[in-house]
Amino acid sequence: MHFLIIGGSDAGIAAGLRAHELDPSCEITLVLSDEYPNYSICGLPFFLSGETPDWHSLAHRTEFPGIQLMPNHTAESIDPIGKFVAVRNGNGAQLELRYDKLLIATGARPVQPNIEGFHLPGVFPLHTMEDSFAVHRFLEERQPKSAVIVGAGYIGLEMADALTRRGVHVTVASRTEAVLATVDPGYGKRVEVELEKHGVEVWNQVQASSIRATRDGLAVSGTKEFSRTADLVLVAVGVRPNSELGAAAGVTQGAKGALCVNRKMETTLPDVYAAGDCVETWHRLLNRNTYMPLGTTAHKQGRTAAENAIGVHREFAGSLGTQVVKLFDLIAARTGLREQEAASAGFCPFTAETTVWDHKAYYPGARELHLRITGDRHTGKLLGAQLLGHRNSEVSKRVDIFATALFHGMKMEELNDLDLSYTPPLSSPWDPVQMGAQFWTKAAGNRSSRL
């Protein structure tokens, strides 16, 4: 069998490796448009900050057993009847690649906002390795002293951290009420305090409209009389699915134009699968598809697609939107649904917020850990959690406990039964997760959580 994969990032590589594991005789060809297979896009801010000085170390892996890589080849069209893909190489020559099973893993690309001057020198997106090299060259050669970042999501804020570490004064222009819109605004405001503590200037509810080249640098202007001049401008306002190739072949599109797939990662075309940031994602709590581009999800979807392509029945278990980000000394994390999302989905949500010590207060270094927990008032079922804490507070461990509980549909009271580790320098006899669940149960007046 010939398994053809279009796309060399998380989903594509995960699929190729899994297919080879299951059937070493399977012929696997992977077409990628650049020459950087399976590089960590999430690691780009740390390369640019200097914390990871060698970009080569961003490669998740450098060996791809059983996979024939075709770098610098662009897939231009899919013929689902003839079962071949038209591909053009870096020299412009076209060839046809036939397949028995096909995986579309073309990922996503940055949203290009309607900003006048977006293509001026010194204005950059940040999504690919080539993007990072362009920004790195600018930083090394121009030694900018100031930057404006348009967008206050994960990449934008991580780059605010990265550029500040390089001695660049950063201004962040956010369209939302507070930065980091994946958490509630109150927690976003706490993130802003951390940013401002390190010299980052934050503007909220600002829509950048134009960038002009002036004698003093790049002048960025927008709503609410926003006006800043900087040496460098980074635009990071989200991504959209690279779904055009699949759509042109006849694959149905869904949320935000992403390719529709079932839980086997099958598209609406026979023998054609799709996975990663170009597809919809099954949400485990919502019980429906949504668009949720995450590297962790892409790995799982690619693996699932490969298993079904090889003939092993498997369904993608679904995502909960678990995310975590480090910004200076602060860690912010979330999983599951926020209150408004839960209400829209038909739950009866109640959210309780509490602050606990990350470990026993008598042991030196104890720090406050903020928890915002959402559950269903009627059933006591956990629906979601948001956490903020110091980078040494094991925030990622705690959000992963919540994510595991969500995955298994646990009720709030059942979190108390979890046998979690304890030693005074790291936790308490009741872990902060359990203390948060207990606080929620009391605040919600819930007495049916074990029923």
Q: CA dist 34 to 8, 78, 85, 385, Å?
A: 8, 19, 17, 38
CA–CA distance, 16 with 387 (Å, rounded to integer): 35
Cα separation values, 280 from 18, 81, 85, 105, 258, Å: 21, 24, 22, 12, 6
Q: Residue 216 class from Cβ within 10 Å (0-12 exposed, 13-18 middle, 19+ buried)?
A: exposed
**2-6/146-150 β-pairing:** unpaired
Task: Give the residue ranges of DSSP H helices in 143-216.
Answer: 154-165, 185-197
The pair of structure tokens assigned to 109 is 């690309």
Q: From the candidates 26, 42, 260, 278, give the one annotated as an active-site residue.
A: 42
> Are 415 and 407 in contact, with CB atoms under 8 Å apart?
no
Distance CA 166, CA 255 (A): 38
- Cβ of 68: how many Cβ atoms within 10 Å? 12
Contacts of residue 361, defined as CB under 8 A and 6 or more positions apart, other chains included, come to: none
Closest CA to 333 of 370, 292, 285, 388: 388
Q: DSSP class of residue 302?
A: H
Distance CA 83, CA 102 (A): 8
Contact 155, 163 (CB under 8 A): no
The neighbouring-strand residues paired with 274 are 104
β pairing state of 108-110 and 239-241: antiparallel
Q: For residue 278, indicate whether it is catalytic.
A: no
For residues 165-195, one letter each, b for 16 or more C-beta atoms within 10 angstroms of the residue's C-beta and e for the rest, the string is: beebbbbbbbbeebbbebbbeebbbbbbebb
**Strand pairing report for 2-6 and 27-31:** parallel
C-beta neighbour count of 43 within 10 angstroms: 18
How would you classify the pairing of strands 330-336 and 382-390? Answer: antiparallel
Which residues are designated catalytic?
A: 42
